Amino acid sequence: MHKTQLDIAKTNVQEKGFLDISAPPDRLLVEEIYKLKKEKNAVILAHYYQEDSIQDIADFVGDSLALAQEAAKTEAAIIVFAGVHFMAETAKILNPTKKVLLPDLKAGCSLADSCPPVDFKKFVAMHPDHKVVTYINCSAAIKALSDIVCTSSNASKIVNSFPKSQKLIFAPDKNLGEYINEQTGRNMVLWDGACMVHEAFSIDKLIDVHLRNPDALIVAHPESPKHILKVATYIGSTSGLLNYVKESKKQKFIVATEAGILHKMQQQVPHKILIPAPAKEDNTCACSECHYMKLNSLKKLYLCLKHETPAIEVAEELRKKALLPITRMLELS
């Protein structure tokens, strides 16, 4: 006889005297999350790098820009942000009266961490005649020191909104900054920060994979270092990569970004072959995974929705300062 998750849980109680009472088993978790979402008028926003089960249950899955746009227009009372801290914080900055929940408060970002506000303030002070463009992957304190925010899908457009004569600082991602300098013909001063996931791609291993798959196109996220971008046929944000792979007539792709994107990508192109770009260090999946993004789980999502914690808080004075550059970006996007 086929055993349901509930049967297994009951057997555990009877035979082992064990039951995790903090959350139901996975299948029931999904049902419970749907129930709670309705009861509480909550919306689940998820980034493409979240685990598959979270993407599948989310009301909206997108890249950083689309998620910020969705957060700006949602009418839900509660936003469960299945992503990392700076994303949930951006949603809170846009929605001070709503509850914004992050399933795991430790879901940070190596790129955001690479730009401490005290040091960045000094850096900005050293370049008095420069305007400050910051990638959305940074803290509210960094946003508050910025003239405008951008994401990987609108960075060129945002930079081009300034006259050519305007000197610019770009932070915190040096790889994206270098790429945008090339795209726009600028010479922006770059903060020396990077994403550990994209930095981890191995060019040697990537070339080996391509030699074994000469019919595959390499597509890459612009947070990747220059040597990876140099061999890519297409460079774009997560949604850019998704659309490119969907629209292309080619059948095989090596994808250089966090491996979570492959879930939605494969759903959209079920007959195409997708190969994750290899990371330097061999890990279990031999690809690049963001351990911050993967801190969120379906169980944590359920618990945070049920207990309405952990919630993101941003001090009002800081929120107002950080809101300005985000609003400027949204108006231009």
Residues found near ligand 13P in the complex (CB under 6 A)? 63-64, 137, 151-153, 195, 223, 237-238
Binding mask 177-216 for ligand SF4 (x = CB under 6 A): ------------------xxx-------------------
- Looking at the Cβ atoms of 152 and 202, the one nearer to ligand 13P is 152
- Looking at the Cβ atoms of 24 and 222, the one nearer to ligand 13P is 222
Q: How far is the CB of 195 from ligand 13P (least distance, A)?
A: 6
- CB under 5 to 8 A by kind: which of ligand 13P, ligand SF4, none does 238 bind? ligand 13P
Q: How far is the CB of 180 from ligand 13P (least distance, A)?
A: 13
Backbone angles phi, psi at 155, to 5 degrees: -55, -45
The residue within the footprint of ligand SF4, chosen from 110, 152, 154, 224 (CB under 6 A), is 110
CB within 8 Å of 32: residues ≥ 6 apart: 24, 302, 306
Q: How far is the CB of 113 from ligand SF4 (least distance, A)?
A: 8
Q: Does residue 137 interact with ligand SF4 by CB under 6 A?
A: yes
- CB under 5 to 8 A by kind: which of ligand SF4, ligand 13P, none does 196 bind? ligand SF4
- CB under 5 to 8 A by kind: which of ligand SF4, ligand 13P, none does 297 bind? none
Q: How far is the CB of 111 from ligand 13P (least distance, A)?
A: 7
CB within 8 Å of 205: residues ≥ 6 apart: 278, 279, 280
- Looking at the Cβ atoms of 112 and 124, the one nearer to ligand 13P is 112
- CB under 5 to 8 A by kind: which of ligand SF4, ligand 13P, none does 51 bind? none
